[in-house]
């Protein structure tokens, strides 16, 4: 279980139940929902497990879903109340797994409480937005490319372009990339959306100019035509507010965790 990221998930049954618990406690008062081998199971335990299995609030479960989950939970308690379970609990590896699972539940609860208690403020979100906008690329480009396997093939295409060949038609005929059928059209993109070598080559061109030499990336050899360029249009604050909020809160939590690690190191 990833206790440092609120979107972390686990495939285990117990971890699913933990996710449901941390997503929001049920409001109903706990009462005995069923008894298995003399062990009373609270309704809160049933609801948490139910929510972990159906991925929605317990009160939205259908009768069929509830019946299936009750049987699963009954099986868990049947198995863990067998005589062999007592012996297995003493196994060092089993004990360690139980200890770790319990610590993971509590650690995730502490992390969730921190996020709830330390929400990003409007001022912090705005400051993060300004930082991101400062580092955003200044321009966007509209380009086409032809991707081939060898430098020689790319060089031959450049000769044809220099002689007046149509770029889009050459892309349709020769490009091995997914944009080939569309004449190599990449549409508009920001420099940070492409690998460095490709971006550098596009930025060095003038509008309407194609590369004079083949450009190599991990995908192969490119011939690139820069069709147009324009000033980058940054997203509005409102359109990225949720992303920025999560970034700010995650940074806060990491700082909090670093301070705890530092305190722990100083105490040793």
Distance CA 70, CA 63 (A): 10
> DSSP alpha helices (H): ranges in the chain?
13-23, 43-54, 63-80, 83-89, 92-117, 122-135, 151-162, 167-174, 196-204, 237-267
* Mean predicted confidence (pLDDT) in 26-43: 82
Within a domain: 95? no
Output the six-digit token pair for 204.
């060095």
User: How much of the chain, in percent, has pLDDT values that exceed 90?
Assistant: 81
* Secondary structure of residue 58 in the 3-state scheme: helix
What does the pLDDT read at residue 135?
A: 83
Going by their DSSP bridges, the two strands 39-42 and 139-148 should be labelled as: unpaired
* Secondary structure of residue 111 in the 3-state scheme: helix
What does the pLDDT read at residue 238?
A: 96
165 lies in the same domain as 53:
no
Within a domain: 165? yes
What does the pLDDT read at residue 234?
A: 84
Going by their DSSP bridges, the two strands 32-36 and 215-217 should be labelled as: unpaired
For residue 21, pLDDT beyond 60: no
225 lies in the same domain as 261:
no
What does the pLDDT read at residue 29?
A: 56
One DSSP character per residue, 180-218 reads: GGGTTEEEEE-GGGS-HHHHHHHHHSPTTEE-SS-EEET
Within a domain: 38? yes
Distance CA 164, CA 109 (A): 66
158 lies in the same domain as 38:
no
127 lies in the same domain as 146:
no
Least confident window among 188-192, 209-213, 254-258: 188-192
127 lies in the same domain as 247:
yes
* Secondary structure of residue 236 in the 3-state scheme: coil
Output the six-digit token pair for 86.
């007592």
Mean of the per-residue pLDDT values for the chain? 89
For residue 155, pLDDT beyond 70: yes
Into how many domains does the chain fold? 3
226 lies in the same domain as 144:
yes
* Mean predicted confidence (pLDDT) in 180-208: 95
pLDDT one-digit tens code per residue, 103-138: 999 999 999 999 999 999 999 999 999 998 888 888
The residue among 89 and 25 whose pLDDT is bigger is 89
Q: Which residues form the domain of 40?
A: 13-90
Within a domain: 4? no
Partners of residue 143 on adjacent β-strands: 187, 226
For residue 17, pLDDT beyond 80: no
What does the pLDDT read at residue 30?
A: 67
**151-162 helix and 167-174 helix, angle to the nearest 10 degrees:** 150
For residue 9, pLDDT beyond 50: no
Within a domain: 75? yes
For residue 239, pLDDT beyond 90: yes
* Mean predicted confidence (pLDDT) in 3-9: 44
252 lies in the same domain as 239:
yes
* Secondary structure of residue 93 in the 3-state scheme: helix
Within a domain: 22? yes
172 lies in the same domain as 246:
no
What does the pLDDT read at residue 192?
A: 87
Count Cα neighbours of 119 within 13 Å in the Cβ-side half-sphere.
5
142 lies in the same domain as 207:
yes
198 lies in the same domain as 141:
yes
User: How much of the chain, in percent, has pLDDT values that exceed 70?
Assistant: 89
Within a domain: 172? yes
What does the pLDDT read at residue 16?
A: 43
Within a domain: 55? yes
* Mean predicted confidence (pLDDT) in 159-185: 97
Output the six-digit token pair for 226.
């820069």
What does the pLDDT read at residue 208?
A: 97
197 lies in the same domain as 83:
no
261 lies in the same domain as 143:
no
Domain with residue 208: its CATH number is 3.10.50.40
């Amino acid at each position: 279980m990833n206790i440092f990221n609120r979107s972390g998930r686990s495939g285990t049954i117990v971890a699913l139940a933990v996710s449901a618990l941390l997503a929001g406690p049920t409001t109903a008062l706990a009462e005995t929902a069923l008894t298995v081998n003399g062990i009373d199971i609270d309704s809160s335990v049933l609801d948490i497990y139910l929510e972990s299995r159906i991925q929605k609030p317990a009160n939205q479960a259908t009768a069929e879903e509830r019946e299936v989950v009750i049987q699963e939970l009954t099986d868990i308690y049947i198995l863990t109340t067998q005589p062999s379970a007592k012996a297995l609990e003493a196994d060092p590896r089993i004990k360690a797994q139980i200890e770790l699972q319990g610590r993971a539940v509590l650690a995730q609860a502490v992390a969730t409480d921190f996020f709830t208690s330390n929400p990003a403020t409007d001022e912090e979100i705005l400051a993060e937005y300004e930082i991101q906008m400062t580092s955003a690329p200044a321009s966007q480009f509209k380009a086409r490319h032809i991707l081939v396997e060898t430098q020689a093939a790319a060089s031959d295409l450049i000769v044809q372009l220099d002689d007046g060949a149509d770029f889009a038609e050459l892309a349709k005929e020769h490009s091995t990339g997914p944009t080939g059928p569309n004449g190599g059209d990449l549409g508009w993109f920001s420099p940070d959306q492409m690998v460095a070598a490709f971006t550098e080559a596009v930025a060095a061109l003038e509008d309407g100019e194609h590369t004079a030499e083949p450009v190599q990336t991990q995908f192969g050899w490119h011939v690139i035509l820069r069709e147009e360029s324009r000033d980058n249009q940054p997203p509005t604050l409102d359109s990225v507010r949720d992303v920025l909020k999560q970034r700010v809160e995650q940074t806060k939590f990491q700082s909090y965790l670093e301070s705890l690690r530092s305190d722990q190191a100083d105490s040793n």
